């Protein structure tokens, strides 16, 4: 692979420039994009409508960039976790969550994470690099191909909620969103894709301007000082400032039907962020927005002395918020037995 161009992750415009350099007809770029993204080819021999001579040129100078996972774990609830190699020889975890006629892939975008949220195992790993567009798309294409080959439901949804902060790798993430939603790529509706963030000011504004994909904000407390104590990102971009930006794009207006959805992720810690005061502050904070809240059970990680709230308290919180006009759900915990649940992904022990 060294010294060769990786095709996976190239846009149609970049493919057109590439084939021009190789002296191929311009339409070859569209053919390559169809093989890469729609037919999900894994070898140049598969690209049968491209001349043998041109396939030979591609073979000499390029690689497709598809790599199978080197390890797979299957949970008792059928959640699957994969360990993928990356272009630069590192490893990253990806999780597929089946649910009746849905199959959701939780995609990683970085190796480790810079954000260092107190409650997240990925942050404890430290930061070891951004994933390339090929690394990100390989997770998606490879898992989808495996599902189809096994006669299972192919992917129906993608969430950028795996390892890393998507808006901290914004150029590469935005490129993959373009490919996934473009006619030349996977041609998916943006409504099937959700990008999660703890909040990076410049990145958030660009994402909201340039993408129609759904947005999920990791909130975890409506109180500035408390959120800052568990999420260092609050220091650089406070939730109050974030809410002002979000209100411009997601104002509460019952007459308007939006294609793009805004949600807030709220991990519930017993005796920390689950009081009646927190509920009142959440209503005050989120009422100006057209949004929903997902309550999440915390999954314990080493050396953090916190506990998740019990089921009854979660239900009380859900009912209170919903009664005050903020649609709220309790997210089902999936894959905890294989360390695939929210906040547990880590490739510190990589193989």
Question: Is 133 within 8 Å of 146 (Cβ atoms)?
Answer: no
198 is catalytic: no
214-218: strand order across its sheet: 71-74, 80-85, 91-99, 102-106, 157-160, 193-197, 214-218, 262-268, 292-297, 327-330
Opening angle at CA 253, ends 236 and 174, nearest 5? 45
Torsion of CA 25, 26, 27, 30, to 10 degrees: 130
Cα–Cα distance measured from residue 126 to residue 281, given in angstroms and rounded to the nearest whole number: 32
Reference 150, options 80, 77, 75; nearest CA is 80
In the set 80, 93, 234, 265, the catalytic residue is 93
Residue tagged active-site, from 109, 120, 213, 342: 342
Q: Which residue has the tokens 């473009």?
A: 182
Which residues fall within 8 angstroms of residue 171, CB to CB, at 6 or more apart? none
End-to-end CA distance of the chain: 21
d(CA 36, CA 120): 34
Is-catalytic flag, 80?
no
State the catalytic residues. 93, 342
């Amino acid at each position: 692979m060294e010294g060769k161009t990786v095709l996976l992750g190239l846009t149609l415009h970049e493919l057109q420039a590439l084939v021009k350099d190789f002296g191929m007809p311009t339409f070859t770029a569209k053919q390559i994009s169809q093989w890469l993204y729609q037919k999900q080819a894994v070898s140049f021999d598969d690209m049968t409508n491209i001349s043998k001579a041109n396939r030979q040129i591609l073979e000499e100078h390029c690689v497709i960039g598809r790599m199978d996972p080197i390890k797979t774990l299957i949970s008792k609830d059928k959640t699957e976790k994969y360990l993928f190699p990356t272009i630069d020889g590192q490893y990253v975890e990806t999780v597929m969550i089946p649910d009746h006629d849905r199959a959701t892939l939780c995609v990683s975008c970085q190796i480790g994470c810079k954000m260092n949220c107190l409650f997240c195992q990925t942050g404890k790993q430290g930061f070891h690099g951004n994933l390339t567009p090929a690394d990100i798309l390989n997770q998606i294409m490879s898992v989808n191909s495996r599902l189809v080959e096994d006669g299972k439901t192919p992917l129906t949804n993608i969430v950028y909620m795996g390892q890393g902060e998507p808006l901290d790798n914004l150029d590469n993430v935005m490129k993959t969103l373009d490919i996934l939603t473009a006619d030349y790529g996977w041609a998916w509706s943006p409504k099937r894709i959700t990008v999660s963030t703890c909040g990076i000011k410049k990145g958030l504004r660009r994402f909201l301007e340039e993408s129609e994909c759904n947005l999920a904000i990791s909130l975890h407390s409506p109180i500035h000082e408390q959120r800052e104590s568990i999420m260092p990102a609050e220091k650089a971009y406070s939730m109050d400032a974030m809410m002002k930006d979000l209100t411009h794009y997601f104002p509460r207006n019952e007459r308007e039907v939006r294609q793009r959805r805004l949600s807030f992720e709220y991990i519930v810690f017993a005796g920390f962020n689950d009081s009646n005061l927190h509920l009142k502050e959440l209503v005050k904070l989120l009422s100006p927005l057209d949004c929903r809240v997902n309550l999440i059970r915390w999954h314990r990680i080493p050396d953090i002395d916190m506990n998740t709230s019990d089921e009854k308290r979660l239900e009380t919180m859900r009912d209170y918020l919903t009664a005050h006009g903020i649609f709220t759900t309790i997210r089902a915990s999936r894959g905890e037995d294989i360390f695939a649940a929210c906040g547990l992904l880590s490739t510190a022990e990589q193989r």
